[in-house]
Structure 1
Amino acid sequence: MYSSRLALLFILLVVTACKNIEPPKMGIIPQPNEINYQEGAFTINDKTVIVVENNIEAKQLANGLGSFLKDKFNLTLEYSTTAQDNAIHLIKTSRDGDYGAYNLNIGKEGVVIEGSTDQGIYYGLQTLKQMLSPKANIKEPLLNYVHVNDAPAYKWRGMMLDVARHFVPKDSIKKVLDILAMHKMNKFHWHLVDGIGWRIQIDAYPELIKKGAWRKVKGDKKPWEDFEATYRDSSSAVYGGYYTKDDLREIVAYAKERYIDIIPEIEMPGHSEAALQCFPEFSCDTDLITGVYCAGNEGTFEFLQNIISEVVDIFPNEYLHIGGDEVGKESWLKCDKCKKRMQQENLQTAEELQSYFVSRMEKYINTKNRKLIGWDEILEGGLPERATVMSWRGFAGGIEAANAGHDVVMTPGDPLYLDHSQGKSEYEPPSWGGYNNVLKIYDFNPVPKDIAPDKKHHILGAQGNLWTEQVKSLSHIQYMMLPRISALSEAIWTKAEKKNREHFINKLDVHFDRLDEMGYNYSGSSLTPDYDVSYNKVNKVFNLRLHNELDLYEIRYTLDGSNPTMQSELYSGPIEYTTAIELNAMCFRNGEPIGFPLKKMFSTGFGDQCKVTYSNAYNETYGGGGDKALFDNKFAIARGDDPSWQGIKEKDFEVLIDLGSVNELSYVGLNFFQDIGATSVMLPTKVIISISKDGENFKTVLDEAIATQEKREPIIKTIKSNFDKQDVSHIKIIAKNRSVLPEWHIRKGPAWIFVDEISVK
């Protein structure tokens, strides 16, 4: 179709690739596997033509590029099917290549993007667009001569979004897909169904969206606490939402234009309270609807098969996710129907019954020309013959499945759960689970060494998972995605030997501008100041070092309690101190603050002189670092698993602190933790602080009752006492434990006190 002149152009472009010039700072993410720059530049102008084959997909790609250039540079380009100079050529080749592979060449005559598939051309266009953005850096459409030869390292590059806990509107889903597309991600795992919400219209069972899509709002209880499905027009407050089939088809089409496959998840056999409160006849014959489908009821399988038949009609891609995780099997062992099923099928354990359930559903899914994929619990009792495993509880399930010849998508909670916190600041928005920062994700390798060499091809790739227990808005979704999805995209697109952590960090500087231009709410956690403290025993001086995860940009600080500005002291080396300091530090990018501030009082703790005596021993599991933990200048964050918390179970926190010498003090403070939603840790009911000059006669400087807070979110409460300056050698602190959790608490049993870092000045 194209002239020999164009073929010659392509050859010349490739030949000139042998001279690689230092690349400009373009910030292309994910990093192309081969990129070679040459001297010279091509400028797109109003005479430039977009040359494209005459087919529907190619025209859509060309139109997308035309709209981009119009919006970005106010250029209206003409289209042609004839090869020519001063043009952007989009070419679908007949040559073999990896699915999604592309070549991008820029030379004197113009731009050539070619791929063996339309998807490859689309990815080439994403690279080209990044070369032309953000406008803050690229004032005109000028492109350095370059040759790019690129292809994805893995087939599966995805993200899961949970919309069951908090419904996400259709337009917000599209914006999530836009973020994935710009990073060349190709899978969107859509968690449409869970115990507390059914989000997909099923014509055969309208009750699922009439009732299952809505839940009663019960005070400040979490959605999963005492969950009760209800109707939208209920007299009580309700919360929820669902997608119509038209909504779903619209989103599927939107994703297809961006070469993203949508994998719907229909949970079974567990996590199904919403469905079973609508259809209790498919629950086991027990007194309680547990959220687990009855495996002995033939109606259960008919119900789920009817649902699947409608789901596959909406979603055309090859995989259907059935969940299969965290199945409480107690009801099966009590249910007469399930017991009978086990006898009929000669099943010895509940795990084998689960395997029967999953295998039976897999056979039906296969009749619909779909592949079953599930969380790694589907390994329990034996894995169905053709099932694909999504390994989330670490790598073990994925290793077992791959070595047995099954395809695997690696998605371990550490580090790929995007609902986990990405920063340590107390100002971070609510999160769930552990701590996964940007570089931890960037360093992720989907193929563990324990997989046999001849089985490595079974690792399809990886995905990040964003559960929404704490995430209720598009803005918060974007915050949890970015820039971590940027790191993940490079971890699974770029070949391991081509990855460069330092280069990626530098590219983020440009990418932040790009994200700003697009209006995305990305996280600055990786730029929030962090610290470490060391003590020089010889000079008796403390050294405070400041840094951030990416080691980018300026950190400015104050020691007088004021907020840092660009006129504040620039951090250039360790801050030495011998008396307590009140640090307030902030990172600045292009003269503007980014991330969160670091606000801490760093006490001397009086070095090795200090001795702490406990009336009640702290728990060994929650030792915080031992007897010196309360003066180690390591401040715990608002997470119960932070190792700096020191825990006392049931009894009072009561310590006597010998400072080792007499010192002039006017302040004593310390931190306590509470997290009702996830732990048995509560604030103390009272705190008493006393001081003494001689260690025998004590004066009370604080006797404060602490009000009970029923707030479910984590709390760090600082208790402090300011008093007239006086000589002090000993400090006594008593924090009263309520001993037993109150009746309204979601847990039962003994209460804990968590304490951290005593500061004095």
Structure 2
Amino acid sequence: MLVPRPVESVAGEGSFVLDRETTLSAPPALEGVLTWLQGALRPATGLPLREGASGGIQLQIEDDLGAEAFRLTVTSGGVRIAGGGPAGVFYGAQALLQLLPPAVFRRGRVASARWEVPAVTVTDAPRFGWRGVMLDVARHFMPKHDVLRFIDLMAMHRLNTLHFHLTEDQGWRIEIKRYPRLTEVGGWRHESQVGAGPDAPNDGRPHGGFYTQDDIREIVAYAAERFITVVPEIETPGHVQAALAAYPELGVHQGHLDVWPRWGINPNVLNLEESTVEFFTNVLDEVLELFPSTFIGVGGDECPREQWESDPRTQERMAELGIIDEAGLQTWFMRRLDDHLTKAGRRLFGWDEILEGDMAPGATVASWRGLAGAVTAARRGHDVVACPDDMVYLDYRQSELPGEPIPVSIPLTIEDVYRFEPVPAQLTPDEARHVLGGQANIWTEHMDSPRTVDFFAYPRLCAVAEALWSPAERDFADFERRLEHHRLRLDAVGVEYRSPEGPRPWQSRPGIPGRPSTREARAAHIAELVANIAEA
């Protein structure tokens, strides 16, 4: 009944029952995991679960296992969780929780439960090293409390990378001490668009919020304790109107702008003066101090070039730099950020549009416009994170039912998402090694609360987690059977997931238009978009 599905699970005879005499033991290297496991077990069980020299639940490091691999052995005499490193032991502890009754995930004492674990040996290891989810907190801000809850849910499903989308046209969500107006001005907007399309109304309600640097440190530390790396993203050189509202001198047209209250692609972009490059390298320096991640996101997607084409100063700047077209100008800007990050010992992480230029070898590509970007990047020697929109964009509608809230693009059912395969079939084995893994993307234009994020994310994110952790062979009927039981765990945690029958009445948004599409229309649109990659 485990989610994700393990490599191997062999049932034994009998069971182990946790009681007031059960203790835990671990070597010093696993003190953090032991403390976490005590904290996970105590609320619902009400058991003391103290440390003991030869505990009923033993945590151990074993050198024959990979860093994230584990071996969980349950007999009538006790539980032994061995991992190649602390992360592996942590994932084994997560598996142990799933072997207990679902009520173990409740945060108050459950007096009527019997805390029995069936005898079993589970041997497991992840298929991919990057098992992620992108969370957009720029369109709709998610309070810190809910970000920490989101991280807990990621850990429950053995996801290990949070791509944290922090800046956009609609809001700047991270404190930068050198440039305080980024949050003072850029951290909120006067109102928000409701629904999709050019005629969708605005709600007239201010929206905002940001994370202080202390908040960011807390989020990063909390995630690290759960073996999750937080990869920040500072969007450039498009999707930047919140920054332009705070510092107009960064824009091509340097007049007053408000933080943008609409969705979609915004024409306002950065100018490419040396002072603008310096501004964003200064921003990145503060970001580097807060996030120890090897990878640092800088965007690079959906950047309109019309302002550059029509602006005399930009054309003069291109001549100064010896750049012949606007695409080359964007490449020059991204390469400057790339060089800065490389010098700091980090690696640039950007959307697949960065392939339209010449990036440094360390640049890593998020392939979102299908998997064409993944193929191109891998063949050029760039590492890839697969996140194709037609497989793992969790803001897309979940069925053809009329009650789906603000329906966007094509329907992506649980089964569609479960079929996600990060490695394109046309890659050779050597090229396929550049595929680090994959992630789901949660864009929040139409998710104005954490409970709405729950609805769009779950249980589809459970399917993504299995696609990234488990062996490549898939059995959707088996997954559905395990998911039926797993929903009881989500119920215990309090996740407001989408029911198999469809949206609950309070989850629908009647009267608010969406932007539904067909797979044929989506395929034609993406084919046009990726033509630039092929030409490059």
In the superposition, the TM-score normalised over structure 1's length comes to: 0.62
Q: Distance in 2 between matches of 1:224 and 1:52?
A: 59
Q: Distance in 1 between matches of 2:374 and 2:318?
A: 28
Matching residue of 1:196: 170
Amino acid at match of 1:339: Q
- With over 3 angstroms needed to count, the CA separation of the structure-2 counterparts of 1:136 and 1:118, relative to structure 1, is closer
SS in 1 for 2:245: helix
Moved more, 515-524 or 347-356: 347-356
Q: Distance in 1 between matches of 2:115 and 2:519?
A: 51
8 Å CA contact 1:410, 1:461 repeated in 2? yes
98, 105, 114: which one pairs with 2:82?
114
SS in 2 for 1:35: strand
Q: Distance in 1 between matches of 2:222 and 2:11?
A: 34
Matching residue of 2:51: 79
SS in 1 for 2:315: helix
8 Å CA contact 2:410, 2:519 repeated in 1? no
8 Å CA contact 2:2, 2:95 repeated in 1? yes
Matching residue of 2:244: 276
SS in 2 for 1:70: helix
- With over 3 angstroms needed to count, the CA separation of the structure-2 counterparts of 1:410 and 1:219, relative to structure 1, is closer
Q: Please give the per-residue CA displacement for 1:63-118, whole angstroms capped at 9, x wherever unaligned.
A: 222233322222112203x3x3x61110123x154331111111233111111211
Q: Which has the higher strand share?
A: 1
- Provide structure 1 residue ranges, at least 5 long, that are not aligned to the other structure: 1-26, 229-235, 529-593, 598-636, 645-761
Matching residue of 2:101: 133
8 Å CA contact 1:136, 1:513 repeated in 2? no
Kindly indicate whether structure 1 or structure 2 has the higher relative contact order, using CA contacts under 8 Å at least 6 residues apart.
2
8 Å CA contact 2:162, 2:229 repeated in 1? yes
Q: Distance in 1 between matches of 2:335 and 2:461?
A: 33
Q: Distance in 2 between matches of 1:170 and 1:467?
A: 17
8 Å CA contact 1:196, 1:223 repeated in 2? no
Q: How does 1:127-526 map to 2 (within 5 A)?
A: 127-135=95-103, 139-217=113-191, 238-284=206-252, 290-295=267-272, 297-497=273-473, 499-524=474-499, 526=500
SS in 2 for 1:496: coil
8 Å CA contact 1:425, 1:596 repeated in 2? no
Amino acid at match of 2:493: M
Q: Which has the higher helix share?
A: 2
Matching residue of 2:529: none
- With over 3 angstroms needed to count, the CA separation of the structure-2 counterparts of 1:42 and 1:501, relative to structure 1, is same
Q: Distance in 2 between matches of 1:351 and 1:38?
A: 61
- With over 3 angstroms needed to count, the CA separation of the structure-2 counterparts of 1:384 and 1:596, relative to structure 1, is same
Q: Distance in 1 between matches of 2:9 and 2:193?
A: 56
SS in 2 for 1:472: coil
Q: Distance in 2 between matches of 1:325 and 1:283?
A: 17
Matching residue of 2:527: none
Matching residue of 2:19: 45
Amino acid at match of 2:279: F
Amino acid at match of 2:212: T
Deviation for aligned residue 1:641: 2.9
Q: CA RMSD in A?
A: 2.8
Amino acid at match of 1:69: L
Q: How does 1:540-579 map to 2 (within 5 A)?
A: none
Q: Distance in 2 between matches of 1:136 and 1:164?
A: 34
Deviation for aligned residue 1:288: 9.1
SS in 2 for 1:275: helix
Matching residue of 1:641: 517
- With over 3 angstroms needed to count, the CA separation of the structure-2 counterparts of 1:408 and 1:148, relative to structure 1, is same
Deviation for aligned residue 1:241: 1.1
Q: Please give the per-residue CA displacement for 1:119-148, whole angstroms capped at 9, x wherever unaligned.
A: 111000000000013139993222222111
Amino acid at match of 1:379: L
8 Å CA contact 2:136, 2:443 repeated in 1? yes
Q: Distance in 2 between matches of 1:640 and 1:470?
A: 13
8 Å CA contact 2:197, 2:515 repeated in 1? no
Deviation for aligned residue 1:489: 0.5
Deviation for aligned residue 1:258: 1.0
Q: Distance in 2 between matches of 1:220 and 1:509?
A: 34
Deviation for aligned residue 1:455: 0.9
Q: Distance in 2 between matches of 1:445 and 1:155?
A: 14
Deviation for aligned residue 1:474: 0.8
Deviation for aligned residue 1:366: 1.4
SS in 1 for 2:381: coil
- With over 3 angstroms needed to count, the CA separation of the structure-2 counterparts of 1:69 and 1:434, relative to structure 1, is same
Deviation for aligned residue 1:515: 0.9
Q: Distance in 1 between matches of 2:514 and 2:317?
A: 47
In the superposition, the TM-score normalised over structure 2's length comes to: 0.87
Deviation for aligned residue 1:278: 1.6
Amino acid at match of 1:272: V
Q: Distance in 1 between matches of 2:278 and 2:359?
A: 22
8 Å CA contact 1:196, 1:227 repeated in 2? no
Deviation for aligned residue 1:381: 2.5
Moved more, 285-294 or 481-490: 285-294
Q: Distance in 1 between matches of 2:147 and 2:411?
A: 25
5, 25, 33: which one pairs with 2:7?
33
Q: Please give the per-residue CA displacement for 1:378-397, whole angstroms capped at 9, x wherever unaligned.
A: 11133332200000011101
Taking only the aligned residue pairs, the percentage that are identical comes to 37
Matching residue of 1:541: none
Q: Distance in 1 between matches of 2:433 and 2:501?
A: 37
- With over 3 angstroms needed to count, the CA separation of the structure-2 counterparts of 1:47 and 1:470, relative to structure 1, is same
Q: Please give the per-residue CA displacement for 1:595-621, whole angstroms capped at 9, x wherever unaligned.
A: 679xxxxxxxxxxxxxxxxxxxxxxxx
Q: Distance in 1 between matches of 2:519 and 2:220?
A: 44
Q: Distance in 2 between matches of 1:127 and 1:291?
A: 48
Number of residue equivalences: 499
Q: Please give the per-residue CA displacement for 1:188-216, whole angstroms capped at 9, x wherever unaligned.
A: 11111001111110111111111111112
Deviation for aligned residue 1:286: 7.4
Deviation for aligned residue 1:266: 0.2
Deviation for aligned residue 1:432: 2.6
SS in 2 for 1:398: helix
Q: Distance in 1 between matches of 2:515 and 2:428?
A: 38
63, 82, 90: which one pairs with 2:35?
63
8 Å CA contact 2:195, 2:406 repeated in 1? no
- With over 3 angstroms needed to count, the CA separation of the structure-2 counterparts of 1:395 and 1:217, relative to structure 1, is same
Matching residue of 2:261: none
Q: Distance in 2 between matches of 1:517 and 1:478?
A: 14
Deviation for aligned residue 1:318: 1.0
- With over 3 angstroms needed to count, the CA separation of the structure-2 counterparts of 1:260 and 1:384, relative to structure 1, is same
Q: How does 1:579-618 map to 2 (within 5 A)?
A: none
SS in 1 for 2:51: strand
- With over 3 angstroms needed to count, the CA separation of the structure-2 counterparts of 1:375 and 1:639, relative to structure 1, is closer
Q: Please give the per-residue CA displacement for 1:384-431, whole angstroms capped at 9, x wherever unaligned.
A: 322000000111011100111110000011010000111222222224
